Structure 1
């Protein structure tokens, strides 16, 4: 009885077996390698973000020691851990610590608001002021001081927040109401137009009321100095609400970056997404601008810097911006204390520090698109 011919002797069977083995190797070996890249990128981004967060904490701690009176770090740590009634502890507790916390909260709020506006409008030059936030807050301050005689920061800060909210709402109504499509260009044009009108009215009223003009000038510069600790709790609540709203817009921002038609095809509700983004911008930018003044350059520069590390994903870009923006603001505040005798306002230093960085980013061969 003849034995059967082995399958391996047949050249066709041999080639088929080889192809099948190669195919199986590619699916079992290469398959796990592709998802492995995602945890690697996630670990890299998370680690880098953690490094920036540690840098922010160190910079905030350093800001407690720097000022017109230098305080040693052991004294700073002792004031934080074991406070007493000494003069150095009083300076840290009553002045520098609230100032550092204010810089972190306001910096994160302005940076995230700027990132949201740039992503929503797909405009690399957009910042919260383009929606009339600064103009509305300025006009409200002039009305509060000139009409109602409110001369303290704790009094007109609430007017500034209300003015920012009303101005942003008016910009949305003018730019989006009645529009067949949610074109972000209409929103930008409405913001620029209404911002110019509100700024003109505010300037005219300020010239009529000299006291209001002085208050407005001091607020417009933008500073962390002279702010009461009573503002920290409301600002913290507003920042928390704004961050939660911004977190819900991350996936929508990624879809909007592809265009409205693509976002609609993917199942996203573009109109609802833009309303949610505007709410987040209004809360964040309105509260921060009312607290520290019109530091508009921060919301323009920080998102550009964050994209260098985060890539195109809007969710990571928002996270990086939330950390990098307060680093820039605190650095500007610290430099303003030591560069010249006396003190230079953080809003002025922020522009001097940020302008070269933004120019450098713009001059790179491969600029990061919004």
Structure 2
């Protein structure tokens, strides 16, 4: 059925994109709820279900389900939505089908900020990682904006060069701090940098959810502008699009979405690149549908990867960052070989 839907992309996108969104949303909810029943600690299905519908704060297993598994499942959806949205906006903004949020130096900024927090301030809690990561992502995104001189004009080449140069410098600083710190600093950093949702609770979920909602609203409000800029700067100007406002708004959306996701789960790569391409195969290049499809496809990929990581690695687990690479890489290669990837 999936093959039929892709081969009939035109009719699908013309007739049923809204229905497709609803079906995709339902599938995400189903997978997210199912993931609550799977964990490194053996809790039977009935107990897990009772924890969801008749929570007892005195029951240790109910506490584990309520305060660890539930927020983790929700966070996997939120982080997936953020990465998919940031990737789609980034590809439109740079007119580069291989672009992903890390091009703005967001991952490098978050990484340096968290390493600095561990080494200099002794932070050890995942909720503290998040705030340092968000601050580092925002500063890195702002630095790229200034280095690329986007206030006086837009240029995808300048953005890529500025982001790449800044990332190299920030990662170099990260390595210097890591190599010259105690072994404990490296161990704590290692658990975050591989990309994981383990141990994330409501203290991480609530602020990240708030930021992602803001980023989604901003990005969806730019759908018309993203459609125009993907056709080229000249076409965009002829349609009356203010390039400076567009670049500022889109850059803010990317920083908010990717920054929040990276701060919460670590630098989970590949999702922001893959999801928009899968969405293009299904609904085409109209950002009215491409953007929400990218968000939901990315969320589904992350939920499935996180769940499989717990199943395959039981009684331990494989981090979501590793699972995304293992699952997404071969599938993306298959997609490239089986169908011609849509151009921007």
Q: Please give the TM-score of this superposition, normalised by the length of structure 2.
A: 0.92
Provide structure 2 residue ranges, at least 5 long, that are not aligned to the other structure.
1-9
> Which of the residues 223, 228, 239 maps onto 2:201?
228
Change (3 A) 1:133 1:265: same
Distance 1:49 1:74 in 2: 31
Distance 2:172 2:321 in 1: 22
Report the counterpart of residue 111 of structure 2 in structure 1. Answer: 138
Q: How many equivalent residue pairs?
A: 332
1:358 CA displacement: 1.2
Distance 2:287 2:43 in 1: 40
Distance 1:142 1:68 in 2: 28
Report the counterpart of residue 343 of structure 1 in structure 2. Answer: 317
Query: Any conservation in 2 of the 1:128–1:296 contact (CA below 8 Å)?
Result: no
Report the counterpart of residue 357 of structure 1 in structure 2. Answer: 331
Distance 1:93 1:65 in 2: 11
- Equivalent positions of 1:1-370 (< 5 A) are 43-71=15-43, 73-84=45-56, 85-177=58-150, 181-210=153-182, 211-341=184-314, 342-370=316-344
SS of match in other structure, 2:342:
coil
Query: Any conservation in 2 of the 1:112–1:321 contact (CA below 8 Å)?
Result: yes
Provide structure 1 residue ranges, at least 5 long, that are not aligned to the other structure.
1-37
SS of match in other structure, 2:176:
helix
Which structure has more relative contact order (CA 8 Å, sep 6+)? It is 2
Computed over aligned residues only, the root mean square deviation of the Cα atoms, in angstroms, reads 1.9
> Which deviates more from structure 2 when the two are superposed, residues 229-238 or residues 204-213?
204-213
1:48 CA displacement: 1.1
Query: Any conservation in 2 of the 1:141–1:212 contact (CA below 8 Å)?
Result: no
Distance 2:339 2:279 in 1: 17
SS of match in other structure, 2:197:
coil
Query: Any conservation in 2 of the 1:239–1:283 contact (CA below 8 Å)?
Result: yes
Change (3 A) 1:123 1:176: same
1:365 CA displacement: 4.4
The higher radius of gyration belongs to 1
Report the counterpart of residue 5 of structure 2 in structure 1. Answer: none
